[in-house]
Structure 1
């Protein structure tokens, strides 16, 4: 049973980790690989709405996706988008990325190889990784405008999709930690974190939701 305070703290992290951008037409859409096929669904929907003429799906496999996505996250995303009506010719697939930095750097290279000019990118990610994706892209691809997008879901709805409350809270805490640790390591831009968000993060850590933290050496 998750205490009410922990739910409230998780909601605060959930709200902060989303950028609350309004999608608008961009040069390209990039769907960041993960366990969540909903990223492909959102990317396909944005394409059908005319938000971009090109899609890059990026991602290899990880310990959490190798069984359900044996051909690689990007390839499974591609297949899903085609099922949803996206023309295969509008999709580029990048199969090597194993982290968010790779997603950005290798997608940029794939687009350059195709000679596609990029002034703006609509980044599509899991809901709780919008801010991480945005901060990473701004660091690694300067001079381009980035808009973040994800499935329009509440925290409760996302928990329902995974049926694992502790895992979701662990992931929220891990995502928040990276927003603080990774700028120091040069992986993303620094962003101001409100004190109330930091306090919520610290309480969740104290409550034991630490399964997705990274070493801070």
Structure 2
């Protein structure tokens, strides 16, 4: 259950790092027409988007996301709004930013961002999904279902697993969320929310072991 005390062992970290590696798509980055920046509890996603903008990878970006139980206290005005403010502080010009403040799940992140871009007269053929490192695969699988005609490239902060945990400061939250995201990768294609992704046996074994160990607060229905 959420908030339950759980001692994280070296074996748990080893299993979680296997899941972490699976979640990353390892795409080669290249210039695209626009970026879709998925809101979450990690402001580093907005920092990454700002760096990619300044590096010339895209001319416009959409910050997307309202609130969730894990972000309401951190970003009380909504994920996308706080992301925009952070990007402006990092020198991204306001005219390069679009804001989608209502999405409550990944499917809505993609569908609503597409609508916001269209309303701005933008119909990209290629987009860069900027996400948490362990959100890449689910973001990609969702985009392939919701917006199949666009070519998506995934990007996130280039950071090692243990360094990311140290930066977030809540190992349990990160591992629970990675397990929940992997459950959605497995389950959502059957519900029509995402395209299917192959899950290697060793990743599936690690996932099951983490569930059995109690990393369950972000599972569907938890």
Q: How do 1:39-188 residues align onto structure 2 when only pairs under 5 Å count?
A: 39-188=45-194
Q: Is residue 197 from structure 1 mapped to residue 200 from structure 2 by the alignment?
A: no
Let me know the Cα RMSD of the aligned residues.
Answer: 1.2
Residue 4 of structure 1 deviates from its aligned partner by 2.2
Cα deviation, residue 94, structure 1: 0.6
SS, match of residue 197 in structure 1: helix
Shift in Å, 1:72: 1.2
CA distance in structure 2 between the aligned counterparts of 1:175 and 1:117, rounded to whole angstroms: 29
User: 1:146, 1:32 → 2: CA distance?
Assistant: 13
- Unaligned segments of structure 2, at least 5 residues: 1-6
Gaps of 5+ in 1: none
Q: C-alpha separation between the residues in 1 aligned to 2:196 and 2:16? A: 22
TM-score, normalization by structure 1: 0.96
Displacement of 1:119 in angstroms is 0.4
User: Aligned-pair distance for 1:55?
Assistant: 0.6
Q: TM-score, normalised by structure 2?
A: 0.94
Check if 1:209 corresponds to 2:208: no
Residues paired across the two proteins, number: 216
